[in-house]
Structure 1
Amino acid sequence: MKKRQHFGAWTTTSIAILLSLVMVGCNKQEQEPEQLKIVMVTQPKTSNQQLHSYAGEVQARQQTNLAFRVGGQIVERSVDIGDRVSVGQVLARLDVKDANLELNAARAQLEQAQSALANAQAELKRFGQLLPANAVSRSQYDSVENQYKSAQSSLKQAQSNYAMAQNQSQYNQLRANKNGVITNREIEVGQVVAAGQTAYQLALDGEREVVIGVAENAVRDLRVGQSATVSLWSAPDQRYDAYVREISPAADQSRTFQVKVALRDQSQAIQLGQSARVFFQTSQDAQLSIPLSSVSAIDEKPYVWVINPNQTLKRTWVQLGEYKHDRVPVLAGLKPDQWVVVGGVHLLREKQKVRLVDVNNRPVSLEDNTIQQSNNQTQTSPIQKASASTQKTISEG
C-alpha cells in the first residue's frame, strides 16, 4: 500500500516536472522569433540628377487663323479638318450679290467722274482761247480752271472707290496663304460671318514641337535651349532629341506655364495632334531619398527606424521633401551609410532586436556594411527558418 502511494506521488511529481519543462521550452521558442524579428532594410539613395516627364501634344511651330476680309453669308465650303491645302487654294466663298451691287455703283460713279472731267477739260480749253482776246475775264477763267481741277480729284476718288469695290468682290473667296494642314474649322454653309471672324486654323508645313504645361514650382528649373527627349504614345520605345524653344512668362488659367519643346528631327512619322511625353534631366544638389514605406509619423512628425550596430531599432526623426511616386527625399536626419527599415514600420518598437535582410531576402551584415552572400545554394533563408520554427513550436505546444 505504501509502495503504491510512493509510486503515485513520484508519478505526479514527474508529470509536473515534464509539463514545466515543456512549457518553458514552448515559451522559449515562442519568444525567439519576437526577439529576432526579420525586417527588410535598405540604405538611402543619393542622386544629383532627377528625370522629370510631362505629357503634351504635337503641334506645328507656326499656325495661323484664316478669316474673310469682308462680312457676308457663306455659300460654299471646300475643305474640312485634316485636309492638306496649298497656297492660293480656295477654301470657302461668300455670297457676292451685295459685292456686285457695290461694284456696279462704283463703276457708275467712275464713269460719271470721267464725263465731268472731259467737260471741264473742254471748257477750260475754250476759255483759254478766249482769254488772250479779253473775251472773258480773268476771274471767269480761274473759276473754270478750278472746276477742271475739282473734276480731276473726283475722278481719282471714283477710281479708288472702283478699285476698292473690285477688291471687295474678290474678298468673297477665302484662299490659303501657305501650304499646310487644316486643324480647325469654325464655319458652316449658310452662316453669316463678320469681317475678321476666324473660319479655319491652318498649321503650316515645317517644324513640329510639343506643347506641355509645367507647374510653377518646376518651371524655374527649365531654360530656353535646354536639351530634352520626346517619346510618342504610339511608339514609346523610340526617343526624339528636342530642346526648349519657348517658356511662357505668365501662367494660364490652370496655373501652369506653357512650354514649347521643338523637335530636332522633323520626321514625317511625327503627325500633328499626337500624344507625346517630354523628359528633362535636371541637375540638383546631392540629396538622399528613401522608400515611402519606410516613413511613419507621430503627431504629424515623420520618422524612420534606423538599425543600430547591435542590430536594434532606433526611432530617428527626419525632415522630408516633396513626396514622389514611390520615394521621398530626406532633407535632414539621415546619413548615406545608415540602414533603414522598409515596410511594416508601425509594428516595430524602440530597441527591438531584429535580423536584417535586403529586398532580395539576403542577410545584411552591419560589421562590414555589406550583404552576406550564401555559399550554400540550399541554405534556408531567415524568413523560411522563422516560418519553420513557428510551425514546429505550434505543433509541439
Structure 2
Amino acid sequence: MVFVALGASLLLAGCGAETEAEAPQPRPVRVVTVEKGEGGQVVSFTGEVLAQDEASLAFRVSGRMIERSANIGDQVKAGQIVARLDPQNAQNTLRSAQAALAAAESQLVTAANAFERQDRLLANGFTTRANHDSARTALQAAQSAVDDAEAQLKIAQDNLSYTDLVVDAAGTVTARGAEPGEVVQAGQMILQLARQGGRDAVFDLPANMLRQAPADPVITVSLSDDPNVTAVGRVREVAPQADPVTRTFRVRVGLDNPPPAMRLGSTVVGRVRLDNDLVIDIPASALTAVNSQPAVWIVDPATQTVSLRNIEVRSFSQARVAVDSGLSPGEVVVTAGVQALHPGQKVRLLGAGS
C-alpha cells in the first residue's frame, strides 16, 4: 500500500509539472502606433521651361528680306529693328501716292475757283442754276478725290514703315523662320520671341492625373540634371482639348521666382501629391484578411491581447497602405507576425515603428 500511494503521488506530481511546462508564452510581435499623416501618392512628370508670354514676329507686308540683325539667343529691346525688307517697291508706291495727292489737290483748287465764279454769277443773275449745280458737284468730286489720295498716301507710308520689323517688347529670341535673301509672305514667322517676365513649367499630362489632382495644388519643380535647383508654382493654364496624337493635356505651371539656372528650354521634373488629405497610413505587412475583407490585428494595451478588425483601404502600394476607415489615431497595430496570431492571444511587444 505504501508503494501504491508513493507511485500515485509521483504520477500526480509529473502531470502538474507537464501542465506547467506547456503553458503558452506571449508571442513576440512588432507593432506600430496609428497616426494621421499626409495621404495620397506623390507623382512626378517631366516637362520644360517656357516663357509665359511668347510671340511670333512677322512682317505685315510681303517682300524680299534683305537684313536680319537678331539670332537665336539674342536679347532684344522694345523698339529695336530686328529685320528689314527691300523698301524699293514701297518707296515707289509712296512717291506715286504723293503725286496722286498733288494732282488731286490741284483739281480741287480748279473746282473751287469754278464754283466760286458760278456762285457770284448766280447771285447777279448771269448764269443758270444748272451750271451752278454742276460746278458744286465738280467741287465735291474734287474734294473726295483729295480725301482718297490722302488715304492712299497714308497706306503707302504705313507699308513703307512695315518693311522694318520692330520689336514691341523686350525678350529673348528663341527661333527663326527665314533667312536674308528669302521672299517672305505677310504674317510669316521671322523670329520667335520669349518676352521678359514670367516663366512657365510646361507638362503634358494624361487625363486621369488631372482628375486625381487637388483643386489648387502646389507643384514643386526641379531641374532634371540638378535636383537642388528648385522652384514652386501653381497651375496657370490647362489645355481645354487633348493632343490628337498623344491624348495628353498641356498644363502650364506659373513658377514663383524661378532661379536663374532655370533657363528657357531647360528640362524640369514636377512633383505633386494627388491627395492632400490627412489619412492613416500603415505598413503593408500589417494587412491580413478575414471573410475576404482586409483586416489588421489590434493590440489591447491593458491585456496585451490581440483581436482582428476589418478596415477599408483607400489605396495601397508594396510598402504602405492608406486606411479610409476602421482605425483611429493612438491604436496599436501588429506589423510583423500577423499570420501566426489568433483572437485573444497574448503578445509581447518588440517595438513600435511607423
TM-score, normalising length: structure 1: 0.63
Aligned to 1:368: 348
Aligned to 1:226: 217
User: What CA distance in whole angstroms lies between the structure 2 residues aligned with 1:45 and 1:276?
Assistant: 34
Aligned to 1:74: 65
Of 257, 260, 263 in structure 1, the residue corresponding to residue 249 of structure 2 is 257
Aligned to 1:270: 262
* 1:266-345 mapped onto 2 (5 Å cutoff): 266-281=258-273, 282-283=275-276, 286=279, 337=333, 339=335
* Cα deviation code 1:6-59 (max 9, x no counterpart): xxxxxxxxxxxxxxxxxxxxxxxxxxxxxxxxxxx9999997423222212111
The farther-off stretch of 231-240 and 166-175 is 231-240
User: What CA distance in whole angstroms lies between the structure 2 residues aligned with 1:190 and 1:287?
Assistant: 68
Please give the secondary structure, in 1, of the residue aligned with 2:264. Answer: coil
Give the AA of the match of 1:49: G
Give the AA of the match of 1:216: A
Please give the secondary structure, in 1, of the residue aligned with 2:123. Answer: coil
Q: How many residues align?
A: 298
> What is the CA distance between 1:371 and its match in structure 2?
5.3
Aligned to 2:207: 216
Distance 1:267 1:285, change over 3 A: closer
Please give the secondary structure, in 2, of the residue aligned with 1:129. Answer: helix
User: What CA distance in whole angstroms lies between the structure 1 residues aligned with 2:215 and 2:56?
Assistant: 27
Is 1:193 the counterpart of 2:184? The answer is yes
Is 1:117 the counterpart of 2:97? The answer is no
Aligned to 1:102: 93
Distance 1:274 1:220, change over 3 A: same
Asked if the contact 2:39/2:281 (under 8 Å) is kept, the reply is no
User: What CA distance in whole angstroms lies between the structure 1 residues aligned with 2:38 and 2:143?
Assistant: 81
> What is the CA distance between 1:250 and its match in structure 2?
2.5
User: What CA distance in whole angstroms lies between the structure 1 residues aligned with 2:316 and 2:216?
Assistant: 29
Please give the secondary structure, in 1, of the residue aligned with 2:276. Answer: strand
Aligned to 1:63: 54
Percent identity between the two aligned chains: 30
Distance 1:194 1:273, change over 3 A: same
User: What CA distance in whole angstroms lies between the structure 1 residues aligned with 2:66 and 2:316?
Assistant: 58
Asked if the contact 1:73/1:95 (under 8 Å) is kept, the reply is yes
Aligned to 2:232: 241
User: What CA distance in whole angstroms lies between the structure 2 residues aligned with 1:195 and 1:80?
Assistant: 20
Is 1:91 the counterpart of 2:82? The answer is yes
Aligned to 1:49: 39
Distance 1:156 1:98, change over 3 A: same
Please give the secondary structure, in 1, of the residue aligned with 2:208. Answer: coil
TM-score, normalising length: structure 2: 0.70
The farther-off stretch of 160-169 and 44-53 is 44-53
Distance 1:323 1:162, change over 3 A: farther
Aligned to 1:21: none
Of 134, 156, 170 in structure 2, the residue corresponding to residue 165 of structure 1 is 156
Asked if the contact 1:103/1:169 (under 8 Å) is kept, the reply is yes
Asked if the contact 1:320/1:328 (under 8 Å) is kept, the reply is no
Is 1:177 the counterpart of 2:157? The answer is no
Please give the secondary structure, in 2, of the residue aligned with 1:255. Answer: coil
Please give the secondary structure, in 2, of the residue aligned with 1:218. Answer: helix
User: What CA distance in whole angstroms lies between the structure 2 residues aligned with 1:320 and 1:193?
Assistant: 63
Asked if the contact 2:316/2:322 (under 8 Å) is kept, the reply is no
Please give the secondary structure, in 2, of the residue aligned with 1:166. Answer: helix
Please give the secondary structure, in 1, of the residue aligned with 2:172. Answer: strand
Distance 1:58 1:275, change over 3 A: same
Higher relative contact order (CA 8 A, sep 6+): 2
- Structure with more strand by fraction: 2
> What is the CA distance between 1:228 and its match in structure 2?
2.2
> What is the CA distance between 1:118 and its match in structure 2?
1.0
**Structure 2, unpaired ranges of 5+:** 1-29, 287-293, 298-311, 341-345
Please give the secondary structure, in 2, of the residue aligned with 1:131. Answer: helix
RMSD of equivalent CA atoms: 3.9
